[in-house]
Amino acid sequence: MELVVKNIKGKDTSKKVSLSDSIFGIEPNDHAIYLDVKQYLANQRQGTHKSKEKGEITASTKKIKKQKGTGGARAGSLKSPLFKGGGRVFGPRPRDYEFKLNIKQKRLARKSALTYKAKEGSILVLEDFNFDTPQTKQYLDILNNLQVLNKKSILVLSESNKNVYLSSRNLKGAKVVTASQINTYDLMNANSVILAESSVKTLETILSK
């Protein structure tokens, strides 16, 4: 697949970039995408949830009422889960939600996501650019010129660029990552994937290992 490289003004240049079919034209694997997205979301969870069970409640242990003759069930303590303020039965405890996913499975998922975006025509190739200083307005102008201003977009750079990253940080729905940081969740969540011209080869190298 060949795409015309656009400049920061949104105009076509004379350059074209060929996207490898082994990365952008495979048979998508939906289950691999599901597993990679599931792992990404699981890793975001802190797992610090905790509620007190009966043995952890601080309350009087005095017997609430007499054992017999009330017509109701026996009750020995205010710590009982049956009473307001009592302990919770089988409440949540701190835990780690992370799970292992093979690197080959992750690469397959990312190639599948890129293939879907390529089929949808949601991939743009942008000429390499740089900002002298962080400037959100400049980055907004680029998104506007590419007609993706009101869409969720992800810009993939070949290497880290602090000024470009800081220029996009305050924008909702706009994300900037390097080719080595790309993940399936961000790709599937974005309406438009913008590849910096130099990032195409870097991305293909990483996903072809």
Task: State yes or no: pLDDT of 116 exceeds 90.
Answer: yes
Per-residue pLDDT tens digits for 88-101: 999 999 999 999 99
Pull the structure tokens for residue 101.
């996913």
Count other C-beta atoms under 10 Å from residue 208's C-beta: 11
Give residue 184's pLDDT. 96
Residue with token string 């690469």: 107
Count other C-beta atoms under 10 Å from residue 152's C-beta: 14
- Ranges of each domain in the chain: 2-46+98-207, 51-91
Those residues whose C-beta lies under 8 Å from the C-beta of residue 14, and which sit 6 or more positions away, are: none
Per-residue pLDDT tens digits for 149-184: 889 999 999 999 999 999 999 999 999 999 999 999
Measured between alpha carbons, how far is 107 from 207 in angstroms, rounded to an integer?
6
> pLDDT averaged over the chain?
92
Distances (CA, A) of 10 to 19, 31, 81, 178, 194: 20, 36, 63, 21, 12
Per-residue pLDDT tens digits for 66-86: 888 888 888 888 898 888 888
Per-residue pLDDT tens digits for 2-32: 899 999 998 989 999 999 999 999 999 999 9
Handedness of CA 69, 70, 74, 78 (dihedral sign): negative
Q: What 3-state class would DSSP assign to 75?
A: coil
Confidence of residue 209 (pLDDT cuts 50, 70, 90): confident
3-class SS letters over 117-176: HHHHCCEEEECCCCCCCCCHHHHHHHHHHCCCCCCCEEEEECCCCHHHHHHHCCCCCEEE
Classified by CATH at the fold level, domain 2-46+98-207 comes out as Ribosomal Protein L4; Chain: A; (3.40.1370)
